[in-house]
């Protein structure tokens, strides 16, 4: 796929690269179902079942420079959503949503989800150290009561948050630059934020059953084309299908749909 949502190059340097890439994708399980997508060939089309997350409303292009400290992602999210990230599947402060989105919800080198990663407070401090200067006016208006670690992680460090200059700090910056330089940040019409390949307003973000990550689809006259994989905060761990139950529908977003891929 073009513009992968995590970096492959380090994994390709190992003889077992294919397994390492597969294991990396296991950190997510957006479809929430241990089933294969129904794949039918109908007049040259590829039929998939899934659920629509939302329609892309606005897109922010990647940064041109690796040295900039002012990616427009945060401003776009704040302009659209204000200080609260409210979707059918989750609710948190916009800074926490942005922080978790940049990391893809996990620490890539260790391939661990953010809540399970022992260095999460160091990552939060790295985030704050990196953004507090260029985004000072916005951060001041976004701040709420509570400590920075409470704001970014929803929990407070026993020792208090502090800026780290070690491996975690470097890992955070590396992950951030990768996304800022190569991926397109977007906001959907129903309030989700995420990033993925080059896309445009009216493209559709969907969770396809059997896929571990959402896909961006572009509507055509008689079906859809797949633009690529994407990260969307609040749908990466099967949240859309929490209420699927008897599989007749979902209370979170809507009913299952059929996508004919051209």
pLDDT tens digits for range 205-227: 999 988 889 999 999 988 899 99
Least confident of 38-42, 49-53, 124-128, 131-135: 38-42
Banded pLDDT at 184 (limits 50, 70, 90):
very high
120-131 and 94-103 are packed helices; what angle lies between their axes, rounded to 10 degrees?
110
pLDDT at 51 over 50: yes
The DSSP code sequence of 112-168 is EEGGG-TTHHHHHHHHHHHHTTTTHHHHHHH--SS-HHHHHHSS--TT------SHH
Region 246-260: what's the mean pLDDT? 59
For the stretch 3-42, pLDDT in tens is 677 765 555 555 565 666 666 777 888 986 544 445 555 5
Query: Which two three-digit tokens encode residue 166?
Result: 């070690």
DSSP reduced 3-state for 170: helix
Residue 185: what pLDDT? 94
Q: What is the pTM of this model?
A: 0.86
């Amino acid at each position: 796929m073009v513009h992968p949502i995590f970096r492959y190059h380090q994994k390709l340097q190992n003889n077992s690269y294919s397994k390492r890439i597969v294991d990396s994708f296991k950190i997510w399980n957006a479809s929430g179902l241990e089933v294969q997508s129904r794949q039918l060939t109908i007049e040259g089309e590829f039929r998939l079942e899934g659920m629509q997350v939302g329609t892309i409303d606005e897109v922010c292009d990647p940064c041109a420079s690796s040295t900039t400290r002012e990616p427009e992602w945060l401003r776009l999210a704040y302009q659209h959503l204000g200080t609260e990230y409210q979707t059918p599947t989750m609710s948190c402060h916009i800074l926490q949503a942005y922080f978790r989105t940049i990391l893809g919800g996990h620490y890539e080198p260790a391939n661990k989800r953010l809540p399970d990663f022992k260095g999460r407070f160091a990552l939060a401090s790295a985030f704050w150290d990196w953004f507090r200067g260029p985004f000072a006016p916005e951060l001041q208006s976004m701040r709420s009561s509570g400590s920075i670690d409470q704001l970014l992680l929803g929990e407070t460090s026993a020792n208090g948050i502090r800026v780290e200059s070690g491996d975690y700090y470097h890992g955070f910056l590396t992950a951030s630059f990768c996304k800022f330089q190569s991926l397109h940040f977007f906001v959907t019409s129903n309030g989700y934020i995420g990033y993925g390949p080059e896309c445009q307003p009216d493209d559709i973000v969907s969770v396809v059953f059997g896929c571990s990550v959402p896909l961006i689809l572009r509507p055509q006259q008689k079906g859809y084309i797949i633009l690529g994989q994407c990260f969307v905060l609040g749908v990466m761990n099967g949240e859309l299908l929490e209420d699927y139950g008897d599989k007749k529908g979902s209370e979170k977003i809507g009913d299952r749909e059929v996508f004919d891929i051209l």
